[in-house]
Amino acid sequence: MMIENALEPRSDEQQAALCLASGKYGQAVEQYQQLIDMEPHVKAHYWHLGLASLLLGDEAEAQTTWMLAMMDGDAEQIEQWTDELAQFLRSQAEQQEASANHPLAWLLRQHLREVAPHDLQNLLHLVQRAIELDRFAEEDLAAWDTIELLRSTAAIDQALLLQTLQAVLQHTPGDPALLAFAEAALDRASDPLPVVHTLMLTSVVIAYELHCPSLAIRYVQLCRKVCPQDLEVLSHLSTFYQNAGQHEQGIETAREWCLLARSLPDQVFGAFLLLRALTRAGGYWKEIFELVSLQESLLLSLAASQTEPLNQNTTLRLVTTTFFLPYVRDNLEHNRLAQNHLFQLCQSSVRAYAAEAAERYQEGLALRRDRQESHERLRIGYFSHCLRRHSVGWLSRWLIQHHDRKQFELYGYFWNYNDGNDSLQDWFVEQVDHARKLGRDGLAIAEQIYQDDIDILIDLDSITADVCSEVMALKPAPVQATWLGWDASGMPAIDYFIADPYVLSDAADAHYAEKIWRLPQTYIAVDGFEVGIPTLRRDDLGIPDDAIIYLSGQSASKRHPETVRSQLRIIAAVPNSYLLVKGITDDRAIQTYFAQVAAAEGVTSDRLRFLPEVSTEAVHRANLSIADVVLDTYPYNGATTTMETLWMGIPLVTRVGEQFASRNSYTMMVNAGIKEGIAWTNEEYVEWGIRLGKEVELRQHVAWKLQRSRQTAPLWNAKQFTREMERAYKQMWQAYITQ
């Protein structure tokens, strides 16, 4: 029976359908024209004839065919036929989508939009197809009345709406025009939480990858309407306010977090969030000092009382909470104690929620050591999100450049990679043997490092980033060390902290969880810096040619009141002197803060100048030459800024302390062959500042020594420094395989 049916002649309609299905569109056109001639009342023939013309590439003929089908009907019939054609086009589009034929699906949905312009579901599909084909423009949403339809359509496919919102925001997250679509989607969501999650992820991208915190704020504010007391929402909102320079709002939102926090981990983070807001605003130092004491007490209580591992979200939130301790006080013992306790807890928590990976790495590395396996070249992994136009990037590039590739195979782990306009990032990608462009998933990053069979993993971010801490806690490499990006984290899984004899004295060893590996002279060296054309002139600033210019160029977080008072005492003691303040100085709070301290020290505000940021690092370095003397900050010194100052041959005054952050400028000056300007007390800091301002011969002597140091000093010998780092790597590896 089946054979007989198969041999039966096909009807004309079946033959036409077969031609259409098999891609014989010309024949299909002929077949359907014949069917229309025989059955002009059957509208389905017109729909298929138009489709065949469309597939032949003749859109005009397709539209004409569909219009002809409706010319002989009354209003009610035309409405019915329009619905039939819409359903036909919709069905055909869905078939093409099922086959992943997105160009044809997009074309069909475009014609469906002409037939049924108020079909919201089609428009949402059309947006997705257009994005896939890179044909989407944000103005399409307005042109198609998508937002109005979203607000007025009774029944909405919630899954489709969320998918479309995610696609649009991933396509062009930085376009403010998408805010209205996001708001409408949130209003019409039957379950708003998935939409909130999408908007929060988008806000992070906008704030940190596109560097538009003001736009990120608007997305988070939408989420806050739905989740007014959600701590995650408040955390991001406060941070974005701070990054956008809206400090009062940042402080207010951080205070809201603190009031809502119930658990001890949340209270610890709340103290950090408020500290961040207050230090970036400037002028809140009395409250900052009180808050640091509270935070330290909370941290120690948490370390002592937390017996169960923390979840992933809480752990990652906590790893940055000790960040501001060295900005506020130079107390090596207490700062390190709090940090070490915190990171013991964080590491145990990471290894609990990622137990399978942690155990697998531990077992795999142990087997590798037992087998005494070694690579032909030592595999070094450099792990950072700052291998770009960033202080870490400018300083670490020389090590990469001078590495001996016959002995070392370099892997670059560029996490949170953003393929933007960054020439230095492009340089790093080209220089390493293997460039891994990664996202923000710490567990995935750790797995990549483990699979690459790295010998020594160098962390350049420390506690400045939660992802970095999560990866290092899992220990995907047998030897792990922290260098350059910040002080050591205190993570037990990190074996070494790379320093030198000056930046950390021998007394520091007792306070570090990591072994301090001191290079013989300096923990950092460069061959120099690119210098551009200066854009600062004395006459533009209203400063006389014979005046003495002091410059202090640091962020608001480093503007400790003792340092600011010391700097203004120097200005008060040196006639015809001016203080240029550079950093995040366009905020009224910072300017008011300096003016208040200046008045207390007898310095009129007309001797202060606040400098805006400049376009490039090279111009920034060139502008340093306007200064006669640069005044460093304490208890958190400059680092890159100090090296740039010394490279430009400008005398520097620094106060030396006991912690890493307060000894950076000290080691750099020593390794540049300079002792003039190194102070061990606030009184000495003021004395050196006055001397260098008043004694022109002393300034000239320091400038001459700095100029000569370019050919002799360890600070400017990156090749020698690289050999010392490589020697350290070999010794670290030898210690590992023989232990």
User: What is the torsional sign of CA 116, 121, 124, 129?
Assistant: negative
Q: What is the pLDDT of residues 265-292, one digit of tens each?
A: 999 999 999 999 999 888 899 999 999 9
Give the least confident one: 362-366, 417-421, 503-507, 529-533.
417-421
The whole-angstrom separation of Cα 601 and Cα 236 is 38
Indicate the pLDDT class of residue 394, thresholds 50, 70 and 90: very high
pLDDT of residue 22 exceeding 80, the answer is yes
How high is the pLDDT of residue 498? 98
Token duo for residue 479: 């030897």
Indicate the pLDDT class of residue 3, thresholds 50, 70 and 90: very low
First-to-last CA distance in the chain?
81
Token duo for residue 317: 């939130």
Give the least confident one: 52-66, 205-219, 223-237, 711-725.
52-66
- Side chain identity, residue 374: S
Q: What is the pLDDT of residues 313-324, one digit of tens each?
A: 999 999 999 999
pLDDT of residue 504 exceeding 50, the answer is yes
pLDDT of residue 585 exceeding 70, the answer is no
Residues 389-397: what's their mean pLDDT?
A: 95
- The continuous run of DSSP H or E covering 351 comes out as helix 332-353
pTM, two decimals, is 0.88
Helix (DSSP H) and strand (DSSP E) numbers for the chain: 35, 13
How high is the pLDDT of residue 615? 85
Token duo for residue 466: 């939660």
The closest of 314, 318, 312 to 358, measured between CA atoms, is 312
CA 509 to chain centre: 32
Q: Enumerate domains of the chain plus CATH numbers.
A: 12-116 (1.25.40.10), 260-352 (no CATH), 355-518 (3.40.50.11380), 538-716 (3.40.50.2000)
Helix (H, G, I), strand (E, B) or coil at 67: helix
Give the least confident one: 96-100, 265-269, 490-494.
96-100
Name the packing angle between helices 43-55 and 25-38 (round to 10°): 160
Average per-residue pLDDT in the chain? 94
Burial of residue 484 (CB within 10 Å: 0-12, 13-18, 19+) is: buried
Indicate the pLDDT class of residue 10, thresholds 50, 70 and 90: low
Contact between residue 253 and residue 238 where contact means Cβ atoms under 8 Å apart = yes
Residues 364-387: what's their mean pLDDT?
A: 91
pLDDT of residue 371 exceeding 90, the answer is no
Could you tell me the maximum CA-CA distance found in the chain, to the nearest angstrom? 113
How high is the pLDDT of residue 396? 97
| Number of other residues whose CB lies within 10 A of the CB of residue 314 | 17
Instruction: Report residue 498: phi and psi, to 5°.
Output: -85, 120
Token duo for residue 528: 């120099």
pLDDT of residue 296 exceeding 60, the answer is yes
DSSP characters for 169-202? Answer: HHH-TT-TTHHHHHHHHHHH-SSHHHHHHHHHHH
Q: Which residues, other chains included, contact 117 with Cβ-Cβ below 8 Å and sequence gap of 6+?
A: 144, 145
3-state secondary structure 386-443: CCCCCHHHHHHHHHHHHCCCCCEEEEEEECCCCCCCCHHHHHHHHHCCEEEECCCCHH
How high is the pLDDT of residue 271? 97
The half-sphere exposure of 670 on its side-chain side, counting CA atoms within 13 A, is: 16
How high is the pLDDT of residue 522? 98
Helix (H, G, I), strand (E, B) or coil at 156: coil
Cis-peptide into 635, omega within 30 deg: yes
Indicate the pLDDT class of residue 6, thresholds 50, 70 and 90: very low
Label the pairing between strands 456-459 and 608-611: unpaired
Contact between residue 261 and residue 566 where contact means Cβ atoms under 8 Å apart = no
Burial of residue 321 (CB within 10 Å: 0-12, 13-18, 19+) is: buried
How high is the pLDDT of residue 98? 93
- Side chain identity, residue 506: D
Q: What is the pLDDT of residues 590-624, one digit of tens each?
A: 888 899 999 999 999 999 999 988 889 999 999 99
How high is the pLDDT of residue 320? 94
The closest of 244, 237, 197, 235 to 220, measured between CA atoms, is 237
The whole-angstrom separation of Cα 687 and Cα 691 is 6
The whole-angstrom separation of Cα 149 and Cα 155 is 11
Indicate the pLDDT class of residue 641, thresholds 50, 70 and 90: very high
Contact between residue 181 and residue 147 where contact means Cβ atoms under 8 Å apart = yes
Strand partners, 329: none
Contact between residue 449 and residue 414 where contact means Cβ atoms under 8 Å apart = no
How high is the pLDDT of residue 612? 87
Token duo for residue 140: 């399409």
Indicate the pLDDT class of residue 584, thresholds 50, 70 and 90: low
Contact between residue 585 and residue 613 where contact means Cβ atoms under 8 Å apart = no
pLDDT of residue 110 exceeding 90, the answer is yes
Residues 237-249: what's their mean pLDDT?
A: 94
pLDDT of residue 2 exceeding 50, the answer is no
Q: What is the pLDDT of residues 536-579, one digit of tens each?
A: 999 999 999 999 999 999 888 899 999 999 999 999 999 999 99
Q: Greater confidence, 410 or 31?
A: 410
